[in-house]
Amino acid sequence: MQAFKTLLIVAVLSAVAYGVYVALTGARDVEPPPGVVAEDWQGGPQIELPPSDGAASGPPAILGAAPPAQAAPQVVQPQTATAVEAPPFSAPPSTQDSGAAPPFVSPNVGPGNPEMPPVGSEVTAEMSQPPIHDPATQGVDYRQAPTGDGAMLAPPVGEVPPASDLPESTFATDFAASQALLAENRLDPALLLLSRWYDDPRLSPPEHQQLMPLLNQLAGTVIYSQEHLLLPAYEVQPGDTLDRVAQHYRVPAQILAKINGIADPNQLRPGDKLKVVQGPFDATINKSTRQLTMMLGGRFAGQFPIGIGADQTTPEGEFAVKTKTPNPTYYGPDKVIDANDPTNPLGKFWIGLDDHFGIHGTNDPNSIGLAESRGCIRLSPRDIEDVYDMMTSESRVRIVR
């Protein structure tokens, strides 16, 4: 590069000197050097410019001159990429706090599921057998809840709000949810969920027919089988009596004896495991449908057909159990009928809700379902025994029209 500059300066100075010389001497033409054609001689060195394509860089070459030393290759440093702001991330909406839930898909519960009888199916003979006293029993026992025909009974304690108080819920959604619970063998949650629909006036006849067999099966298994689906098993301690255990759980000893298949309540053995339920049982009596429904802790626990008073003489409201009398004596307006008399209209059991009003059996089973009594609630001879064995002085009875 320095040599080129020197040559260029020399050439420029030579040209200037030559011009001065010409101007001073008046010389116009200069003879070309020996061996040079006159047509090619133009009085100065020719400079060949590189093609103007923008691709070449460097000093121009001078014809006849030694090529300049090659410059060291130029190292091109990579350019730092310009930072570009990424577009904002748009996350999908979260359902954690929104209360939303993925769509529910109801599994099939029916003939394809051996753990659950199909809805509306007849209960098998095995299901309706009395429980066997075997604390080690592990299988699910879908027996029937009491249905007014002398089948095994069923219990309740405290009531869940009726479905009419929960407008956001529908029977279809609750029934579908119960199927999911049954598929997971979660029988008690399914029973609690469906129990609030047992007497709902919004149910259509097909829905009611779909509901009641399942409720009876669930109540029979959850409450009356020997499966410990409500509370842990109670281990009998030395000195325990069935009455003492029942009193602790606020239920009659008779119901624990029936559930556990105990023939002699005085023969408890230390170490035995008892199925226990937390009482008390309550009852709801619907005069329009003429049904008495037992409840245990908000769970449907069995339903029984009843007879009621003629001409709306059966009162409505909330009542407490005041007395329980086996083999009651009938004190009528015109006569007294002794206990055990076949003509006694009270039958074998009396549950007093007032001094002269209560729930009792009957010596006329054909009157069940009718409005013929003086105001009391009538149950068949077998059904009154079941209801009697479930209720205590803590039980509450609600009578509605």
CA distance 364 to 367: 6
CA distance 216 to 304: 11
Q: For residue 228, give every residue at least 6 positions away whose Cβ sits within 8 Å of its Cβ, in sequence order, or none.
A: 275
- Which residues face 293 on adjacent strands? 284, 303
pLDDT, position 103: 27
pLDDT, position 356: 87
CA distance 101 to 40: 96
Distance of CA 271 to the CA centre of its chain: 37
- Which residues face 252 on adjacent strands? none
Question: Which residues are known to be catalytic?
Answer: 360, 376
- Angle between the N-to-C axes of helices 187-195 and 171-183, in degrees from 0 to 180, rounded to the nearest 10: 170
CA angle 31, 32, 36 (to 5 degrees): 150
CA distance 157 to 138: 25
Q: Count the residues in the chain.
A: 401
pLDDT, position 162: 53
CA angle 290, 168, 107 (to 5 degrees): 85
Single-letter amino acid code for the residue at 174:
D
Tokens 């159990």 map to which residue? 321
User: Consecutive sets of 10 residues in the chain, 401 residues long: mean pLDDT of each?
Assistant: 57 54 41 43 34 36 34 35 30 29 25 28 29 34 63 41 58 96 97 96 95 97 97 96 97 97 92 97 97 98 97 95 96 91 95 94 95 95 97 97 92
Q: Residue 87: what are its φ and ψ, rounded to 5°?
A: -65, 150
List, as one string, the DSSP characters of 288-308.
TTTEEEEEETTEEEEEEE-BE
Decide if 127 contacts 142 (C-beta within 8 A). yes
Which one-letter DSSP state was computed for residue 341?
-
Decide if 374 contacts 258 (C-beta within 8 A). no
- Which residues face 303 on adjacent strands? 293
CA distance 114 to 126: 14
Q: For residue 179, give every residue at least 6 positions away whose Cβ sits within 8 Å of its Cβ, in sequence order, or none.
A: 106, 107, 108, 109
CA distance 189 to 182: 9
Q: Which two tokens stand for residue 118?
A: 């199909």
Sort strands 291-296 and 299-305 into parallel, antiparallel or unpaired. antiparallel
Q: What are the DSSP E strand ranges found in 15-146? A: 47-48, 61-62
- Angle between the N-to-C axes of helices 171-183 and 205-219, in degrees from 0 to 180, rounded to the nearest 10: 30
CA distance 302 to 312: 25
Q: CA-CA-CA-CA torsion for 355, 356, 358, 360, nearest 10 degrees? A: 120
- Which residues face 325 on adjacent strands? 350
Single out the residue of 364, 361, 363 nearest to residue 384, CA to CA.
361
Which three-class secondary structure state does DSSP give residue 324?
strand
User: Please, what's the largest Cα pairwise distance for the chain?
Assistant: 175
pLDDT, position 7: 56
